[in-house]
Structure 1
């Protein structure tokens, strides 16, 4: 007997005008009553919208009860924890309401930075450690390791692996749950990969003056554009290409530099690209290590005019890593020498000496390079900075009577979480840090897996 018995042949049960909004349905021998309005919350394409057309559905009544509760409240009931998640996923797919289940279990709004626990470890095939991690808004994740990219769906239950044309992947960006952009510093071209079908959909290249191959140094995106930082194979030119995200056709080019002689500043390609939607600007950062130390620059580009709106040149305690936050309207870096976290206020864009040390300012110059390999990422209203095997958590403290600075802006105060770190985080050195949905993804040196840190959500 098909799941929806008599769906197309039997007429809907006769109801009086008074109770015409009440729907009665038999699921696997158990009677349920609900309203037509509740069923429409599943969406016009879901089978819930057709439930009233069938007097009997040959499915599990307990799982139907869980999904009906999801429709009514938008959340899974606590009793859902008694069921295997895969059973719920299969049933949600059958009824056509998997997006509601995803929103309930992996909504970014559920992320609680102060209540993170390691929920599982994602194993990878092969001997290579992760070199890059890319996430999607609702928690699916792509992990580059060696020449492969392994993808996990939002539930972390379904896994697939594709082989790229690179020896190793250095830059990775999720364009969609099934499409990713990948690049390598030792192999020409930006590859657009179809991760479901396992093939290279398109290869994008930058034509430089010397017509030598061009390698990808960094990738970023906005709702409209895909950004790629290229460097020529001879390392004497670099540029940032802007592509239309839908057609993948070139839209414009910014920051094209041809290096002549000892023009060191121009020789630094951008290795990190972040779109700042609140300002409509692209942040591009890159650094270089030489005999005299580490130096670099952070540039904010207006891609419409192709002009640099703000540039910060790093010389004293250059960034080991840098992140920008729209929510906090600020830039955050971890100093390569001090290992301390610094903040620059985007509301004061263009100011000199913008950095404010949030940690121990006395350690700014000590020659030990304590920040080498440290990672920093902002997520929501928090900033996460890896220090070896641990992670510091920084949050802005709202002051009732904040002091006014010389530029007229209120003094902003950031404090480290009282615990000093995400609890029980300790382990080998952290090499990648990424966020997606209500999850934090962490990879460590010499480990062939990815840790998933998650705050508990209702039902699971």
Structure 2
């Protein structure tokens, strides 16, 4: 018999605090504190264990997750949360599965624009980094538009520079390389006037440490659609080694009216991805085989036929997440598939075969990882991965959803 004091001292049931209630769940006995159970279970007057015709493995997993929040659950979070509603254990389970609260910082510590560094453990402001140029009085009060993610703790070079985009009020901008030890600027990369779309501030930066490059992209939209650019800068020399702009630029004429709405880089696989604003197709390019037209295009099929207007794209753990009007789509390289994602409903798309690009026609598959109810909450407008979780926000929704990305098992909303 499995026992648990889950929910001790917490309101939720009708039983007295400290009173144990026995449940016979599918032939397995459980003893739980009556005050933690739902009213229908806690108020059952029968002296014999209350029989519940449900899966005992799910209740065992719920109790284990409540007792040991740091251990990975045996079932997807969504499945356990739905089951916990029946027993009245939803609040306790949600608290156990949710990440720890984030530390807040006083805005008064960073009243001036720039890059501000904080000590997360101690909760204090360490330093501020500003972009300045004594020879150019226009470089003043520059704000940070984007920051490149730092290399993981096990990377060979953890002292690589911090890369951030700075933009002045009149739109003069650059990528600033900052020493991670001294927190002082050491190099200025790609200074631009910001007077046109092709010189606007990069709103996405990706540090390609293995190649010694930084990927920068900028996208803007208006009455005439999307326009933007992608560039690869050599960090040491500060020179552009590859670039493309849309609409126009190089490439096949059939794609001129379908500029990208977002782009990102898979650092591990050295792959560049974009989502097309009109068709919604996904373009993939091998960073080691870039030329005037490096793209292989993949279509999502009927479910993703709503186009790519407003779509955002995010690469994380060798997967490409794409927000669409009808849900959250994920593209994966077949050789990178893990056993815990192979049971997802698959939507194979039509692919243009260009083996000379180094990308095989059967390299990818697409799946939708959320439900129809999830998509009704609004289109995802921001995504960021961390650990085994994917953090997303939706338009006009003042919450952050935390997705268990290791199992792609649904969302927990945090107000």
Provide the TM-score with structure 2 as the length reference: 0.61
Residue 333 of structure 1: how far off its partner (Å): 1.1
- Asked if 1:194 is matched to 2:119, the reply is yes
Q: How many residues get paired?
A: 301
Question: SS of the counterpart of 2:237?
Answer: coil
Residue 444 of structure 1: how far off its partner (Å): 1.9
Structure possessing the higher relative contact order (Cα contacts under 8 Å, 6 or more residues apart): 1
* 1:343 equivalent in structure 2: 284
Aligned pairs for 1:230-309 (under 5 A) are 230-235=166-171, 237-258=172-193, 264-266=197-199, 268-289=200-221, 292-309=224-241
- Asked if 1:227 is matched to 2:163, the reply is yes
Q: Which has the higher strand share?
A: 1
Q: Does the CA-based 8 Å contact 2:66-2:96 persist in structure 1?
A: no
For residues 361 and 296 of structure 1, do their structure 2 counterparts lie closer, same or farther at Cα, with a shift above 3 Å needed?
farther
* Alignment partner of 1:212 out of 131, 136, 140: 140
Question: SS of the counterpart of 1:207?
Answer: coil
* Alignment partner of 2:323 out of 380, 383, 386: 386
Q: Does the CA-based 8 Å contact 2:198-2:245 persist in structure 1?
A: no
* 2:360 equivalent in structure 1: 411
- Asked if 1:162 is matched to 2:104, the reply is yes
Which consecutive residues of structure 1, in runs of 5 or more, have no partner in the other structure? 1-77, 90-100, 122-152, 167-181
Residue 233 of structure 1: how far off its partner (Å): 1.0
Could you give the per-residue CA deviations for residues 42-98 of structure 1, whole angstroms, max 9, x where no partner exists?
xxxxxxxxxxxxxxxxxxxxxxxxxxxxxxxxxxxx999475657547xxxxxxxxx
Residue 228 of structure 1: how far off its partner (Å): 0.9
Q: Distance in 1 between matches of 2:284 and 2:388?
A: 25
Residue 294 of structure 1: how far off its partner (Å): 2.3
Q: Does the CA-based 8 Å contact 1:282-1:301 persist in structure 2?
A: yes
Residue 292 of structure 1: how far off its partner (Å): 4.5
Q: Distance in 1 between matches of 2:168 and 2:184?
A: 20
The runs of 4+ residues in structure 1 deviating greater than 6 Å are 118-121
Which consecutive residues of structure 2, in runs of 5 or more, have no partner in the other structure? 1-57, 83-94, 152-159, 248-255, 336-351, 409-415
Q: Distance in 1 between matches of 2:121 and 2:397?
A: 26
Q: Does the CA-based 8 Å contact 1:219-1:229 persist in structure 2?
A: yes
Could you give the per-residue CA deviations for residues 315-372 of structure 1, whole angstroms, max 9, x where no partner exists?
13332221111333311111223332211222312x112222211799xxx9x9x423
For residues 407 and 274 of structure 1, do their structure 2 counterparts lie closer, same or farther at Cα, with a shift above 3 Å needed?
same
* 1:426 equivalent in structure 2: 375
* Alignment partner of 1:323 out of 246, 264, 275: 264
Q: Distance in 2 between matches of 1:157 and 1:207?
A: 38
Q: Distance in 2 between matches of 1:119 and 1:217?
A: 39
How much is the aligned-residue C-alpha RMSD, in angstroms?
A: 4.2
Question: SS of the counterpart of 1:394?
Answer: strand
